[in-house]
């Protein structure tokens, strides 16, 4: 296959494809990497990067110029020992152009192994507090699959868009008459630039039910706990150092915390999304940067 380098040619049984690229909160890529690592998936193939990525710089270390480093786009495979194997695709970056062609290449490899089902993940930014349990929204390529998700405590995504290749891949899969599901994990709208392992864990919990596999998610729990504690410290530091200047943002956090178990929280907010993100950029981002 042009543009693909295969590292092995395994015999796979009824494989499903799980594909992920970086996006908000790292929800998709964290989940897929964790799945790959915990299952011990093996290298399958690599998509050559030259048609999808362009480089405008090289790194220098101790006066020596390094070689160009392109983002990787790699496939892995896992044999379940049963009737349902997996192909896991991980893209280190989303291309700025030719995303449709890349999505088709990913599905070309999947269909080479007679894959019929495609799963992706994405983030759903919402007005929730960072200690809240994230809801999972679902979108599918056909109504029958959407109904299946309802029985797994997944909220149907009635309308909207799924940005980037985590969404586009499903549209291309549907054009090829492949079944597909996207699981979108809620993340607080004020944490979109930072990793959200809690949401990644939540989408994986649904995925492993759909696929009937076992997966130890304890490490994601530990990571999520550390992230929650760090966010709590950042908000506390903001309250201590910029109580008046950041009052509007701090009031927002207080409202979310108090109403984390209630519906209709948006009606309580006086901040527009644009104003909220502006305040996060001005105040809370300083605390993230101090911690890193």
Burial grade of 48 (CB within 10 A; 0-12, 13-18, 19 or more): middle
Same structural domain, 110 and 184: yes
Same structural domain, 131 and 206: yes
Strand ranges in the chain using DSSP code E only, listed in sequence order: 4-6, 16-20, 42-47, 60-61, 64-65, 73-78, 86-91, 117-126, 136-140, 155-156, 179-188
Q: What is the pLDDT of residue 265?
A: 53
Same structural domain, 227 and 192: no
User: Among 217, 244, 259, where does a domain finish?
Assistant: 217
User: Among 217, 237, 260, where does a domain finish?
Assistant: 217
Same structural domain, 115 and 66: yes
Crossing angle for the helix pair 27-39 and 197-211, to the nearest 10 degrees: 60
Phi and psi torsions of 168, nearest 5°:
-55, -40
Q: Is 189 helix (H, G, I), strand (E, B) or coil?
A: helix
CATH number at residue 25: 3.40.50.10900
Same structural domain, 70 and 146: yes
How do residues 134-160 score in pLDDT, each as one tens digit?
999 999 999 999 888 888 889 988 888
Same structural domain, 202 and 226: no
User: Among 161, 186, 217, where does a domain finish?
Assistant: 217
Same structural domain, 38 and 17: yes
Q: What is the pLDDT of residue 23?
A: 94
How do residues 243-289 score in pLDDT, each as one tens digit?
888 888 888 888 888 877 565 554 555 667 777 888 888 777 766 76
C-alpha torsion 160→164→170→171, nearest 10: 70
Q: How far is CA 76 from CA 118, 181, 189, 265, in A?
A: 14, 19, 32, 41
The tokens of 162 are what? Answer: 């799924």
Same structural domain, 265 and 123: no
How do residues 70-103 score in pLDDT, each as one tens digit?
999 999 999 998 889 999 999 999 998 899 999 9
How do residues 17-44 score in pLDDT, each as one tens digit?
999 999 999 999 999 999 999 999 999 9
Q: Is 59 helix (H, G, I), strand (E, B) or coil?
A: coil
Burial 233-264 (b: 16+ CB within 10 A, else e): ebbeebeeebeeebeebbebbebbeebeeeee
Number of domains within the chain: 2
Same structural domain, 231 and 256: yes
Angle, CA 218 vertex, CA 120 and CA 71 arms, to 5°: 40
- Cβ neighbours, 10 Å, residue 50: 11
Cross-strand pairs, 124: 186
Q: What share of the chain is helix, strand, coil (3-state, %, to 5)?
A: 45, 20, 35
Same structural domain, 155 and 277: no
C-alpha torsion 280→203→269→189, nearest 10: 20
Question: What is the domain range of residue 64?
Answer: 4-217
State mean pLDDT over 154-168. Answer: 88
State mean pLDDT over 193-219. Answer: 95
Q: What is the pLDDT of residue 276?
A: 81
Same structural domain, 164 and 148: yes
Place of tokens 């990497």: 33
Same structural domain, 266 and 157: no
Q: Is 41 helix (H, G, I), strand (E, B) or coil?
A: coil
């Amino acid at each position: 296959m042009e543009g693909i380098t295969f590292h092995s040619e395994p015999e796979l049984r009824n494989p499903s494809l799980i594909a992920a690229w970086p996006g908000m909160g790292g929800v998709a890529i964290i989940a897929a990497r964790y799945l790959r690592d915990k299952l011990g998936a093996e290298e399958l193939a690599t998509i050559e990067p030259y048609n999808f990525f362009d480089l405008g710089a090289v790194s220098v270390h101790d006066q020596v110029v390094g070689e160009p480093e392109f983002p990787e786009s790699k496939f892995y495979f896992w044999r379940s020992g049963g009737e349902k194997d997996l192909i896991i695709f991980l893209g280190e970056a989303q291309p700025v152009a030719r995303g449709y062609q890349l999505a088709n290449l990913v599905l070309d490899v999947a269909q080479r192994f007679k894959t019929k089902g495609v799963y992706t993940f994405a983030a759903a930014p919402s007005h929730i507090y960072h200690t809240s349990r994230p809801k999972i929204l679902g979108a599918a390529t056909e109504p029958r699959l959407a109904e299946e998700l309802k029985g797994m405590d997944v909220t149907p995504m009635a309308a909207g868009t799924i940005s980037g290749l985590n969404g586009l891949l499903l549209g291309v899969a549907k054009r090829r008459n492949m079944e597909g599901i996207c699981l979108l994990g809620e993340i607080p709208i004020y944490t979109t630039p930072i990793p959200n392992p809690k949401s990644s864990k939540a989408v994986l919990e649904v995925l492993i039910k759909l696929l009937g596999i076992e997966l130890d998610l304890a490490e994601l729990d530990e990571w999520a706990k550390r992230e929650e504690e760090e966010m709590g410290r950042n908000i506390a530091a903001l309250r201590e150092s910029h109580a008046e200047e950041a009052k509007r943002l701090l009031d927002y956090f207080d409202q979310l915390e108090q109403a984390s178990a209630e519906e209709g929280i948006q009606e309580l907010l006086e901040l527009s999304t644009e104003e909220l993100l502006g305040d996060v950029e001005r105040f809370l981002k300083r605390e993230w940067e101090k911690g890193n």
